[in-house]
Amino acid sequence: IKLHIVTTDGDDLYAEADESQSVMEILRDKNIEEIRALCGGQLSCATCHVYVDPAYADRLPPMLAEEDDLLDSSDHRTPESRLSCQIFCVDALDGIKVTVAPSD
Ligand code: FES
């Protein structure tokens, strides 16, 4: 699938991803500084925070309580916040636009 990434500087990047990959892995491969992904996708660090374009919100997997709690620890949470390690690149998300959240 194709991903549209917006950096914290407002730059647009584009990437191709396989179904087996998480959005976090794609962002990490792009060397996006804010995506430290310290826990490696184990849902325990919240350093993979992104804002998902609302047009894709209803195609995302539901948020687990752990993700919700971790996002609450961020000063930059918005209604569009998700942890990118919990978003897998399935076909329904082709073209998804994610904006990198600032680091806490
Ligand atoms: Fe740690 Fe996503 S990489 S919660």
Residue-level pLDDT at 20: 83
Ligand 1 contact, 60 CB (< 6 A): no
Cα-to-centroid distance, 39 and ligand 1 (Å)? 5
26, 27, 34, 45, best to mutate for ligand 1 pocket (most atoms within 8 Å of CB): 45
**99: amino acid identity, one letter:** T
The helix or strand, by DSSP H or E, that contains position 66, with its residue range, turns out to be helix 65-72
Extents of the domains making up the chain: 2-100
The predicted-structure confidence for 86-95, as pLDDT tens digits, reads as follows: 999 999 999 9
Count of CA atoms in the C-beta half-sphere (13 A) of 65: 0
The predicted-structure confidence for 14-71, as pLDDT tens digits, reads as follows: 999 998 899 999 999 999 999 999 999 999 999 999 999 999 999 999 999 999 999 9
User: Hey, what CATH class is 2-100 in?
Assistant: alpha beta
Ligand 1 contact, 24 CB (< 6 A): yes
pTM value? 0.96
How many CB atoms sit inside 10 A of residue 69's CB? 12
